[in-house]
Structure 1
Amino acid sequence: MWRASRVRLLLWHASAAIPVVGAAAAFYAPALARTRGVWPAPLDDVYIHFGFARAAALGHPLSWIPGNGYSSGGTSLTYPLALAPGYLLGFRGPWLGLFAALLACAALLDLCRSLRRLLEPRAGPGAASSCWVAWVAPLFVVAVPLLDWSWFSGMEVALLGAVLGRALVAVRRVELAPPARRPAEQLRVGLLAALLVATRPEAVALAAPLAVAAAHAAGSLGAVASLARASLPAALLLGAHAAANRAFTGEWGAAGAVRKLILANPYATPIEKAVEVIKNLAALRVQALESALGGPSWALLLPLLGAIAAIDRRSRRLAVPLLIGAYGSLLLVALNATARYQNLRYAAPSLAMLLVAAALGVGALARRGRLAAGVAAALAFAALAAPSRGFARQIDHFARASANIAGQHVEVARRLGARAPRPRRVLLGDAGAIPYLSGIPAIDGLGLGGYRGMPFARASVHGVPAVVELIERLDAAERPDVFALYPSWWGGLADVFGRRVDAVKIEDNVMCAADEKVIYEADWSALAPPGERRDGVVDEVDIADLVDERAHRYAFPSPRGGWVIGAVLPGGGDGGDGGDGADSAPRFDAGRLIPEGREQSFAIGSVAAIPRGSAVLVLRTDGGGPIALGVAVAAGGEVRVEVPERPADRWSEIRVPLRDVAPGDRIRIRSLLGTFRSFHVWLMRP
């Protein structure tokens, strides 16, 4: 009996490995042919994970590049740690992708094993009629081509699948454990739920109901203590991560949330944000939950089977959290401005949860006798066969996308690495392959890579000139000397501060943000030296410099106002020229648009070297027609200032005498007539 059981288990593992390894080969082989031997990665984000993994392997966890400091931009806390051993074992450069592929296959086989444990019939009625379900469970794992694309992409989705399966098994163990063992099993659920969240943040939509399910299975144990054991690990993880973000970046949220969430847009109205979320939900529903599953009618099979599992007494404690998690995760993903792109990869966790719930539904139906088992087999066959028409398209898309990344990002990395003299630092936008493969330090202008706690992610949301303001804060030797950018993304930076020296253009682009990535040599001569101070100034606010704005509790009119702008003009009035003469060197400054009838405000710094009394407020602007401003200090009355037409080819200054100001006072500047283009504010002694 023991030998027969062992042979049966080995046969099951072989039968599970065949579809998993076969699906992996179906995706990787054509992609390898397209990339000409470079290990395929259909997303450049894969190389971002590789960068975090390399940093962790070199003793710099939670850093994208050693020396850049803490980064909250990694979408997964655990996945780079899982990849790091591969780097230490010698999987370097693109070949870390081979280790990621092996890890993905192992993770999917682990998910299959978890499904077998959940679906193998226990002794009792229906056991004979449902014994086949565990053997077809691996087919559910690889049945949806859109999900397979993400499973084998090199991203963290396969690892999430393995953790998902183990978390479900842990909930089942709580159900079956004797009372003395249940607290330990509930804590196991809590730890695995925390691991889910650490692997993908939107998995919190599953982690929470799984904790409730574990507490519901408490039996004679106290409900509150049970819920605490199952939920506190995830809550503590989220709290610790938020606290670390706040301490090292000044933001409670991760850089990805700051950069990508629709809610983070400072200019859009609530209605505009809601419309974008609805667009995302519609695209995800139609493309990920309908087309990817075989079409509108066939797509109903997975939710139907999941509902059957939710009704069944033996499986509902797992199925209900899976259904809540699938649709809850999709709602969270819809808040991501990029949810509709990158082949809908953000929908992959939801698809995985639906497939697992459907497998449980097949098992629940099969246990109800031979007739029900026949119906279960028919529904399972239909659910598995319906998406199969998408395999050819998804395999082809995987290969083409991998060729795009190899042809553009990998090639740019090669060219930068071959430049002489070697670049000091490269400025790029959320591009992982370039610094990882070239070995050149980088600053991510979109902020996901993190750089010494500076708010690049928030600045990139406000606008390109705000990113330049942060670069202006860096010492000259620390500023990037080359750029690798998409020109259409970086107007006002690449064309103003860069000189085009090379470019890589690809054909048949299905994945990159543009078909051409351009290499520039940097010229930052228009930026002010760090720490430059104008004579006579006791306090100043550099508008659109988010660090300076935060220090002065600056507020701009939001939404539909305060848009960031930038210009390079002579007549700086803030340096060695001693005034605003038109013959001074051109100087960059960023600012904000204050629409008519709206206002900006800021607080005078608490360390400003000025006693209470009179002062002069100096406002920098550029050219334009006549405007009128209203200036008020603290709760005092507003003073109207008429500003005549200004020349367009130089900076201009508006001087406003203030009669009674002190550190901590709030100054309000309202645009009474026309739009005020506000670039810089100085408070000077009279």
Structure 2
Amino acid sequence: MLRVSRPPAERDRGATSRPSRARSALFLAALAALGVGIWACWSVTVDDAYITYRYTTNLADGFGPTWNPGEDPVEGYTNFLWMLWHVPWVWLGIPLPMISKLTAAACAAAIVWVLATEPRSRTGAAAALGAFVLFLPTWIHVDSGLETAPFALVVLRAVVVTARLLRDRDTVVRPAELPALFLIAGMLRPDGILAVAPPLAVWLWLRRRDRRAWTALAVAGALGGAYMAWRWSYFGHSLPNTFYVKVGVEAATDGRWIRTTLALLLPLLLLAVAGLFRRTTAPLVALALASCLALYAIPALTAPAMDYLSRFAWHGFPVLCLAAAWTLDAVGRRRLAVAGAAVAVAWTSVAGFLQPDGPTMVNYGQDLHRVHIAIGLGLADTDLPADRQTVAMSDAGAIPYFSGWRATDYIGLNDERIGHGASPTDVLLADDPTVLIATGPTPELQTTSWNTDLPTAVGDRELVAVVRARPAYYQQVYADRDVADQVRTAIERRIAEADAATDGRFDQTYSRWVTRLLGLTG
């Protein structure tokens, strides 16, 4: 029978599921560490977040969730509830990145509370908390502007609720909670239903004779079905447009994502797996690992290119932290448990900083501000007629959001034509944008990028700006010749303002980040 009793070893160590003075101190220390990390990375808002903000703004302005108002809508976001959550704040005039960061920080604080209170031993709680709050990706993903932290909290809550039932069948659980979490997860991210499916299945089995549970599931299913029906009727496709692009462009089964994730989370994974061999923890850990495996299946098979700082592995990271804590709870020898906890925290925190894209991400906000945001604001400053306010680019985030121009995303994430097989070059020639922005590793125009023949697409447009983001990352801005001077002047002014407000460095190093935090540069 799926039931877990509390082992004597836990009682002997004085563990309790209720917050004690020592546990409260652990929670406050972890919360303080989390706060310092969030502050240190506060400037980071990833370019993809501005895609969601554009859809949110168009919805708030009465155009519906669409990329270009007045055109056939395309689903270029994958976080419906997150997009919807920001709508009221547009009406209130509050900057959307601030709302995203504060919301994600609150969700991260809730995760800290769960990791402080759910383990039965202080050693387990310390391991889970230390690994979570000292992990560089935690700080970045909370500040990124995306739905990562809220989604991770939903998955963690689903696992925790079901785990409590596994420990004690008489635990009071609201009949609607698991179905509601299942619905919320699926509307936060399309793969959310996979992550919550294992806890939901176990919960249904344990509550199979409770009519209220089945009624709640039916209601959640009806709401989810209505949402899917609306999506299909509004966008015309059953899956987000990004799915069709990423499966065709990024699909890979070479094991890169698996190797990176194993190296990053090895001690936590080993501790979790070890818990499968103890009767008292096996059901709990099996539940947690099943949820993580469901989450990790898609990125493991597709090796996503946009997986900065193991973003997709982080969705299940709090669950792994808790699973490792459960295993440590059952270790009878305190010194062995403390050693295991110390290794897990040290390895995870160091591995987070050793990731190759770590230095790039901590400086990301500065680089985005002086390039993408500056270009977008410069375009918005130009006094062009509405029908000439058209731009094409591959980085479809801050530039179209801040410009407010009609935008062609020639990667295809927000273009249904390209997403379903049209040639990006043909689409650009048909749209004939006033401004075309090419991204490349050098100041010179590349021959091809994202299956696009750039020289053909650029045509006789004039080069008006080359803006450097990083040592091998440039944005080249081309404009129609009759408006080239106006576009050049506006962009140059915004770039000068951004240069004055940022640190003036291009190196992707932690020293640049720390120097800026210490106030030693502008």
Task: Indicate whether the TM-score tops 0.5.
Answer: yes
2: CA distance, partners of 1:202 / 1:212:
16
Residues 360 and 173 (structure 1 numbering): CA distance in 2 closer, same or farther, change over 3 Å? closer
CA drift at 1:211: 1.1
Write the letter of the residue equivalent to 1:278. Answer: T
Aligned CA distance change for structure 1 residues 361 and 177 (closer, same or farther; 3 Å) = closer
Structure 1: segments with no counterpart, 5+ residues: 29-38, 122-129, 266-272, 294-298, 473-478, 524-686
SS in structure 1 opposite 2:41? helix
Separation in structure 2 between the aligned mates of residue 310 and residue 86 of structure 1, nearest angstrom: 45
Q: 1:115 to 1:313 in 2, by over 3 A?
A: farther
- In structure 2, which of residues 230, 233, 238 is the aligned counterpart of residue 252 of structure 1? 238
> Could you report, residue by residue, the CA deviation over 1:455-481 in whole angstroms, capped at 9, with x for unpaired residues?
34213xx42245358x46xxxxxx643
In the alignment, structure 1 residue 485 sits paired with structure 2 residue 438: yes
Provide the residue aligned with 2:196 in structure 1. 207
* Cα-to-partner distance string for 1:105-142 (whole Å, 9 max, x where unaligned): 211111122233422x4xxxxxxxx2453355322322
Q: Could you tell me whether the CA contact under 8 Å between 1:19 and 1:139 is conserved in 2? A: no
Distance 2:131 2:383 in 1: 52
Q: What residue in structure 2 maps to residue 504 of structure 1?
A: 466
Taking a change above 3 Å as real, the CA distance of residues 21 and 255 of structure 1, as seen in their structure-2 partners, is: same
Quick check: 1:406 aligned with 2:369? yes
1:300-315 to structure 2, matched below 5 A, reads 301-312=267-278, 315=281
Equivalent residues in 2 for 1:545-556, closer than 5 Å? none
Aligned to 2:379: 416
Structure 1: distance between partners of 2:171 and 2:309 = 47
SS in 1 for 2:392: strand
Q: 1:50 to 1:444 in 2, by over 3 A?
A: same
Is 2:112 the partner of 1:153? no
Is residue 2:162 matched to residue 1:171? yes
8 Å Cα contact 2:392/2:428 also seen in 1? no
Identity across the alignment (%): 22
Instruction: Describe the SS at the equivalent of 2:86.
Output: helix
CA contact (8 A) 2:127 2:344 kept: no
Q: Which residue of 2 aligns with 1:62?
A: 65
Match of 1:516 in 2: 475
Provide the residue aligned with 1:540 in structure 2.
Answer: none
Does structure 1 conserve the Cα–Cα contact (< 8 Å) formed by 2:30 and 2:129?
yes
Give the equivalent residue in structure 2 for 1:546: none
Provide the rounded CA distance (Å) in 2 between the counterparts of 1:180 and 1:118.
Answer: 14
2:36 maps to 1:22: yes
How far apart, in 1, do the equivalents of 2:252 and 2:153 lie? 29
Q: Secondary structure at the match of 1:506?
A: strand
Closer/same/farther in 2, CA of residues 338 and 180 from structure 1, 3 Å limit = closer
Following superposition, the deviation at residue 278 of structure 1 comes to 1.6
Shift of residue 160, structure 1, vs aligned partner: 1.3
TM-score by length of 1: 0.58
Aligned 1:190-589 pairs, distance under 5 A: 190-218=179-207, 220-221=209-210, 239-240=225-226, 242-262=228-248, 277-279=252-254, 282-290=255-263, 292-293=264-265, 299=266, 301-312=267-278, 315-336=281-302, 338-339=304-305, 342-363=308-329, 365-366=330-331, 369=332, 371=333, 373-390=334-351, 392-393=353-354, 396-421=359-384, 423-449=388-414, 455-459=417-421, 462-468=422-428, 471=430, 480-486=433-439, 488-489=448-449, 490-491=452-453, 495=457, 497=459, 499-506=461-468, 508-509=470-471, 514-521=473-480
Contact 1:242 1:253 in 2 (8 A): no
User: For residue 336 of structure 2, what is the amino acid of its counterpart?
Assistant: V
Kept in 1: contact 2:34–2:139 (CA 8 A): no
Change (3 A) 1:211 1:90: same
Structure of higher RCO (CA pairs closer than 8 Å, 6+ residues apart): 2
- Partners of 1:387 and 1:5 lie apart in 2 by 25
Task: Verify the 8 A CA contact 2:33 2:134 in the aligned structure 1.
Answer: no
Aligned with 1:48 (options 42, 51, 67): 51
Return the index of the structure with the highest Cα Rg.
1
Query: 2:125 corresponds to which letter in structure 1?
Result: A
TM-fit CA distance, 1:236:
5.3
> Residues 380-415 of structure 1: CA distance to partner in whole angstroms, max 9, x if unpaired?
110110133345556532233333322321121122
Match of residue 672 from structure 1: none
1:481 aligned partner, one-letter code: T
Q: In the alignment, is the contact (CA less than 8 A) between 1:428 and 1:444 conserved in 2? A: yes
**Hey, what's the Cα distance between the residues in 2 that align with 1:313 and 1:52?**
49
Q: Flag the 1:443–1:200 CA change in 2: closer, same or farther, 3 A.
A: same
- Number of aligned residues: 452
Code of the residue aligned with 1:319 in structure 2: it is: V
Q: Which residue in 2 is equivalent to 1:108?
A: 108
What is the one-letter code of the residue matched to 1:521? D
2:14 alignment counterpart: none
Cα distance change of structure 1 residues 161 and 496 upon mapping to structure 2, 3 Å threshold: closer
Would the aligned equivalents of 1:107 and 1:162 in 2 still touch at CA under 8 Å? Answer: yes
> 1:104 Cα shift?
2.1
Cα pair 2:376 2:399 within 8 Å, conserved: yes
Is the 1:147–1:352 contact (alpha carbons within 8 Å) kept by the matching residues of 2?
Answer: no
3-state SS of paired residue (1:505): strand
Give how far 1:321 is off.
3.2
1:79 aligns to 2:82 (yes or no): yes
Label 1:399 to 1:112 Cα distance change in 2 as closer, same or farther (>3 A): closer
Q: Residues 626-637 of structure 1: matches in 2 within 5 Å?
A: none
CA–CA distance in structure 1, aligned partners of residues 80 and 149 of structure 2: 14
Change (3 A) 1:432 1:111: same
Offset at residue 19 of structure 1 (A): 1.9
CA 1:498–1:82 in structure 2 vs 1: closer, same or farther (change >3 Å)? farther
Distance 2:309 2:131 in 1: 20
Amino acid at match of 1:199: L
1:45 Cα deviation (Å)? 0.4
Q: Which amino acid aligns with 1:166?
A: R
Q: Distance in 1 between matches of 2:354 and 2:326?
A: 29
Written as runs of structure 1 = structure 2, the 5 A alignment for 1:81-96 is 81-92=84-95, 96=96
Gaps of 5+ in 2: 1-17, 440-444, 483-522
Distance (whole Å) between structure 2 residues aligned to residue 211 and residue 522 of structure 1: 59
2:97 aligned with 1:97? yes
SS in 1 for 2:239: coil
AA aligned to 1:202 is D
More strand by share: 1
Residue 588 (structure 1) aligns with = none
C-alpha distance in structure 2 between counterparts of 1:247 and 1:493, whole Å: 38
Give, in angstroms, the shift of residue 340 of structure 1: 6.7
Measured against aligned partners, the alpha-carbon deviations of 1:655-682 in whole angstroms (never above 9, x if no partner) come to xxxxxxxxxxxxxxxxxxxxxxxxxxxx
TM-score, with structure 2 as normaliser: 0.75
Aligned to 1:629: none
**Structure 2 partner of 1:651:** none
Distance 1:381 1:232 in 2: 45
SS at match of 2:453: coil
Q: How does 1:132-143 map to 2 (within 5 A)?
A: 132-143=123-134
The alpha-carbon distance between structure 1 residues 62 and 332, as it changes in their structure 2 partners (threshold 3 A), is same
- 2:30–2:133: 8 Å Cα contact kept in structure 1? no
C-alpha contact (below 8 Å) 2:82/2:188 kept by paired residues: yes
Q: Deviations over 1:512-547 (max 9, x none)?
A: xx4233233399xxxxxxxxxxxxxxxxxxxxxxxx
3-state SS of paired residue (2:347): helix
Which is richer in helix?
Answer: 2
CA distance in 2, matches of 1:215, 1:308: 27
Separation (CA, whole Å) in 2 of partners of 1:398 and 1:499 = 33
Cα distance between partner residues in 1 of 2:311 and 2:327? 25
Measured in 2, the distance between the counterparts of 1:234 and 1:91 equals 32
What is the CA distance between 1:437 and its match in structure 2? 1.3
